[in-house]
Chains A and B, each alone.
Chain A
Amino acid sequence: MDKIFTPELKAKADKIVALYETRRASVLEVLRLVMEHYGHVTIEAEEAVANYLGIAPIDVHEVITFYTLYYTKPKSRVRFNVCRTLSCSLLGGREVLSHLEEKLGLKAGEMHPSGSCSIQAVECLGACELAPMLQLNDDEFIGNLTKEKIDELVKKVM
Chain B
Amino acid sequence: MEKLISKYFVPGKTFSLAEFEQDGGYQAARAVFDKFPDPKALVEEVKKSNLRGLGGAGFPAGMKWSLVPQNTGKPVYLVVNADEGEPGTFKDKYILRHVPHLLLEGIIIAAYANNVHKAYIYIRGEYTHPYDMLQKAVKEAYDKGYLGKQIFGREFALDVVVHRGAGAYICGEETGLLESLEGKKGFPRLKPPFPAVVGLFGCPTVINNVETLSYLPYILNRGAEWFAKLGSEKNGGLRLFSVSGHVQKPGVYELPLGVSLREIIYTHAGGIRGDRKLKAVVPGGLSAAIFRADEIDVGMDFDQLRAKNTMAGSAGVIVMDETTCIVKALYVTMRFYGHESCGQCSPCREGTGWVSKILRRVAEGRGRTGDVNNLLDICSFMGGTTICALADGAAMPLRSYIEKFREEFEYYVKHGKSMVDGTALETQTLHDTSHMSHVGS
Contact = CB atoms under 8 A, between A and B. Distances in A.
A109 B440 CA distance: 9
Contact of B441 (A59, A68, A90, A135): A68
A69 B123 CA distance: 13
Contacts of B438: 73, 109-111
B245 A126 contact: no
Contact of A128 (B161, B163, B166, B250): B250
Nearest to B319: A90
A127 B163 CA distance: 20
B244 A131 contact: yes
Chain A: number of interface residues, binned into ranges? 35 or more
Contacts of B128: 138-139
A87 B87 contact: yes
A5 B89 CA distance: 39
A67 B332 contact: no
Interface string B245-280: 110001110000000000000000000000000000
B418 to A, nearest CB: 13
Given A28-B164, A123-B340, A128 B441 contact: no
Interface in A82-108: 84-87, 89-91, 106-107
B353 to A, nearest CB: 15
B329 A86 contact: yes
B440 A72 contact: yes
Contacts of A128: 87-90, 242, 244-245, 250, 316, 318
A118 B441 CA distance: 11
Given A20-B161, A87-B245, A68 B167 contact: yes
A19 B147 CA distance: 14
Most chain B beta-carbon neighbours within 10 Å: one of A107, A109, A120, A128: A128
Interface string A102-144: 0000110111110000111001111111010001001111000
A63 B185 contact: yes
Interface string B299-326: 0000000000000000010101000100
Closest 5 CB pairs of A and B: A67-B166, A128-B244, A68-B167, A66-B185, A71-B440
19 contacts: A24-B183, A28-B165, A32-B164, A53-B183, A62-B184, A63-B183, A66-B342, A68-B441, A73-B437, A73-B440, A86-B282, A87-B244, A109-B439, A110-B438, A111-B440, A126-B85, A127-B90, A128-B88, A131-B250
Given A107-B436, A126-B124, A140-B129, 10 more contacts: A21-B200, A22-B182, A25-B182, A85-B87, A86-B332, A89-B332, A126-B126, A126-B127, A128-B244, A129-B244
